[in-house]
Amino acid sequence: MKVRWAWLLLSAVGGLLFGFLLLPLVALLFSATGAELWQGLTDSRVQAALRLSAITTTVSLVVIVVLGTPLAWVVAASERAPARWIEAVLKLPIVVPPAVAGVALLLAFGRQGYVSRLLRLDSGLAFTSVAVVMAEVFVAAPFYLQGAIAAFRSIDEGILLAARSVGAGPFRNLIRIAVPIAGPSLLAAAATSWARALGEFGATLMFAGNMAGRTQTVPLAIYSALEVDVHTAVALGVLLLGIAIGVLLVSHFLAWPGRHASNRRGQRLSRGRKV
């Protein structure tokens, strides 16, 4: 009896947080009718923001996957101390506040930034669509890298050693063995990373600004719309929430691969035979 009460109490306390997390999302979902949503989404400024977000997050994702996969592979394969340090540094953008990231990007790539001076760029890269991509890559890449490093590390060592023993170098091992085996986990990491890029707000505002059509992504459009027209903000909010739920579902199914179901069934059968 005592135990049951204890569980009830713990559940009630925990339920407070669960309710707090869920309530705003539910409120968002039920705050607008279908017609209002449609009207909000077809607004020309919203269309421009959607287009910009689609393009910049796609470019960001390509950059992150193309550059991030080799980096994750090198870090995962190495057991030396520098690799551990690099791994720790790679997590930094996750905990650095986005506004700080925006200032840091300005200092490095802005008009007076180190890179602009080094490359003798007159205007710098800040406040352009390129800056949007850079801000997105900066905040979203660690999510892909973390997932990819973990995915590569979880590959059975015997598989990789066997591939090396027949003569497959690091490049061939990555393309032909590691990426196909880690594939579902890499996709899940890419989806999470893309979702983070899509939601990027703070660093973009600081480093790229909020110019409609050029640097105003969907989150910035929501911020601007809230002052003028709540319905547009709600419509965009519902859209992003829907996408987020979709990404969550995709990475969930990728992390629980159904393709090994037959294998697992086989194991259960053999266990049954032994008993």
Q: Applying CB under 8 A, which residues contact another protein?
A: 156-169, 172, 176-177, 180-181, 260, 262-263, 266, 270, 274
Q: How far is the CB of 167 from another protein (least distance, A)?
A: 4
Q: How far is the CB of 263 from another protein (least distance, A)?
A: 5
177 vs 212, beta carbon nearer another protein: 177
| Residue closest to 212 by CA, chosen among 44, 60, 54, 57 | 44
183 vs 202, beta carbon nearer another protein: 183
260 vs 268, beta carbon nearer another protein: 260
Cα diameter, the chain: 76
134 vs 187, beta carbon nearer another protein: 187
| Residue closest to 240 by CA, chosen among 190, 199, 196 | 199
Q: How far is the CB of 78 from another protein (least distance, A)?
A: 13
- Are 152 and 173 in contact by the 8 Å Cβ rule? The answer is no
| Residue closest to 208 by CA, chosen among 112, 134, 119, 122 | 134
Q: For residue 190, which amino acid is it? A: A
| Residue closest to 136 by CA, chosen among 195, 49, 191 | 195
Distance CA 217, CA 209 (A): 10
- Residue tagged 């059509």 (tokens): 213
The number of angstroms, rounded, from the C-alpha of 80 to the middle of its chain's C-alpha atoms is: 28
- Are 98 and 202 in contact by the 8 Å Cβ rule? The answer is yes
- Are 236 and 40 in contact by the 8 Å Cβ rule? The answer is yes
162 vs 249, beta carbon nearer another protein: 162
Q: How far is the CB of 262 from another protein (least distance, A)?
A: 7
Q: How far is the CB of 84 from another protein (least distance, A)?
A: 16
11 vs 78, beta carbon nearer another protein: 78
Q: How far is the CB of 144 from another protein (least distance, A)?
A: 21
